[in-house]
């Protein structure tokens, strides 16, 4: 598939209607950090789809007479949210060539998250994925012959143009985004479900998200990605991501949790190392992030329970572990880690399967 395969030219034959989709957040195991023009990733990444952290978006559309501009209202939890509008306007402009029918409609986008807005959990992945699913439902209504495969590929393609990691929130439990020599069907343009059988060790894999710092990040992901241009370690890092993706693919098939932990923790620390070694340099971890990491290492050494951490572009810690140690790990988290969380807040999540039409 190439970009031009995603250009639609269906007449806007439907007067009005509405759709509603939920889309989950995802947590990368091999990280996307650095991109080229048009949201093309500098390296392939892989993530677990989450189940409970979701955005639910309703899209209502009504034909209008003026078709020169995008026209939309944006509601967050039912109330107008002007400060979200520029991001959506930019997204619509980016996807205009692929979805020209959108300009024929007035859109009402009503969105909410299942996690607290101020939790520091990025809602751009789930938000852009949920909106893209709705847009594809509209496109499918205009073109009922569309195959299911195309529907999901284009939804992921559109989501990527909104936010790179959003393309991994459309479909599948383990999703790869970015060309990788060993992963058939992988693409820089959209995410694909890892086309292999995942070992039972990863069934219902748990992700407990420790909310260490809910404040606004000092450096946005967009700026961070940009700093990978002219970064002294960029080329080695991009090559390493290819190697780590090969290795984790094997691990996900064989269920080797020891190797899983090594790759996932190394990826998390490498991501933050890239931030600390860019120019300008910056640190998104907080002292409590490091306290938690050290406590996790100590607990793992003492108990041999295969828990590990990963980080996204912030101070929060994702604690990953198999379902069969859930009770023990949750007790450890409550006893030893919640003291490092802002207001003791955390979210229990688990591997999920992707977006759902409601």
Which residues make up the interface to ligand DP6 (CB under 6 A)? Answer: 28, 31-33, 39, 45, 122, 124, 163-165, 221-222, 225, 271, 312-313
Q: Which residues is 48 bridged to in the sheet?
A: 27, 174
H-state helical runs in 13-118: 85-95
Q: Which is nearer to ligand DP6, 35 or 140 (CB)?
A: 35
Residue 167 DSSP label: G
Q: Which is nearer to ligand DP6, 45 or 206 (CB)?
A: 45
Q: Which is nearer to ligand DP6, 32 or 332 (CB)?
A: 32
Q: Which is nearer to ligand DP6, 38 or 196 (CB)?
A: 38
**Shortest distance in whole angstroms from residue 356 CB to ligand DP6:** 21
CA dihedral 14, 17, 22, 23 (to 10 degrees): 30
**Shortest distance in whole angstroms from residue 266 CB to ligand DP6:** 14
Contacts of 317 (CB under 8 A, 6+ apart): 209, 210, 212, 289, 292, 293, 296, 309, 310, 311
**Shortest distance in whole angstroms from residue 143 CB to ligand DP6:** 28
Residue with tokens 């890092």: 237
**Shortest distance in whole angstroms from residue 207 CB to ligand DP6:** 13
Q: Which is nearer to ligand DP6, 137 or 270 (CB)?
A: 270
- Pick from 1, 349, 325, 351: nearest CA to 168: 351
**Shortest distance in whole angstroms from residue 23 CB to ligand DP6:** 14
Number of Cα atoms under 13 Å in the Cβ half of residue 117: 7
Cis peptide bond upstream of 280, omega within 30: yes
Q: Which is nearer to ligand DP6, 92 or 122 (CB)?
A: 122
**Shortest distance in whole angstroms from residue 72 CB to ligand DP6:** 20
Long-range contacts of range 225-229, CB-CB < 8 Å, 24 or more positions apart?
225/33, 225/34, 225/35, 225/164, 227/274, 227/275, 227/278, 227/279, 227/280, 228/33, 228/34, 228/35, 228/42, 228/274, 228/278, 229/34
**Shortest distance in whole angstroms from residue 109 CB to ligand DP6:** 18
Q: Which is nearer to ligand DP6, 227 or 341 (CB)?
A: 227
Residue nearest to ligand DP6 (CB): 164
**Shortest distance in whole angstroms from residue 339 CB to ligand DP6:** 26
Residue 156 DSSP label: H
Q: Which residues is 45 bridged to in the sheet?
A: 177
Q: Which is nearer to ligand DP6, 39 or 208 (CB)?
A: 39
Q: Report angle CA 89, 44, 36 to the nearest 5 degrees.
A: 50
253 by DSSP, 3-state: which? helix
């Amino acid at each position: 598939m190439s970009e031009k395969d995603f250009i639609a030219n269906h007449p806007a034959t439907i007067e009005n209607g509405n759709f509603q989709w939920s889309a989950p957040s995802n947590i990368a195991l091999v990280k996307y950090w650095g991109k080229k023009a048009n949201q093309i990733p500098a390296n392939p990444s892989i993530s677990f789809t989450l189940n409970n952290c979701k955005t639910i978006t309703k899209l209502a559309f009504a034909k209008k007479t003026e078709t020169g501009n995008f026209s939309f209202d944006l509601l967050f939890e039912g109330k107008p949210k002007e400060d979200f509008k520029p991001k959506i306007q930019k997204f619509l402009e980016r996807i205009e060539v692929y979805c020209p029918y959108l300009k024929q409609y007035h859109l009402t986008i009503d969105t909410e998250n299942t996690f607290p807005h101020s939790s520091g959990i990025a809602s751009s992945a789930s938000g852009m994925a949920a909106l893209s699913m709705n847009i594809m439902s509209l496109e499918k209504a205009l073109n009922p012959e569309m195959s299911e495969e195309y529907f999901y590929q284009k939804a992921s393609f559109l989501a990527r143009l909104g936010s790179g990691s959003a393309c991994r929130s459309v479909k599948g439990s383990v999703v790869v985004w970015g060309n990788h020599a060993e992963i058939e069907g992988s693409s820089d343009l959209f995410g694909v479900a890892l086309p292999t059988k995942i070992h039972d060790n990863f069934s219902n894999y748990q992700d407990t998200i420790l909310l260490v710092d809910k404040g606004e990040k000092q450096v946005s992901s967009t700026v961070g990605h940009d700093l990978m241009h002219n970064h002294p370690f960029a080329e080695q890092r991009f090559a390493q991501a290819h190697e780590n993706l090969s290795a984790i693919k094997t691990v996900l098939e064989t269920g080797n949790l020891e190797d899983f932990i090594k790759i996932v923790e190394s990826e998390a620390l490498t991501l933050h190392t890239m931030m600390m070694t860019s120019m300008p340099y910056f640190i998104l971890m907080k002292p409590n992030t490091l306290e938690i990491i050290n406590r996790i290492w100590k607990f793992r050494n003492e108990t041999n329970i295969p828990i590990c951490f990963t980080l996204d572009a912030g101070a929060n810690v994702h604690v990953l572990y198999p379902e069969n140690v859930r009770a023990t790990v949750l007790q450890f988290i409550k006893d030893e880690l919640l003291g490092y969380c802002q207001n003791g807040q955390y979210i229990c999540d688990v591997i999920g399967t992707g977006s759902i039409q409601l």
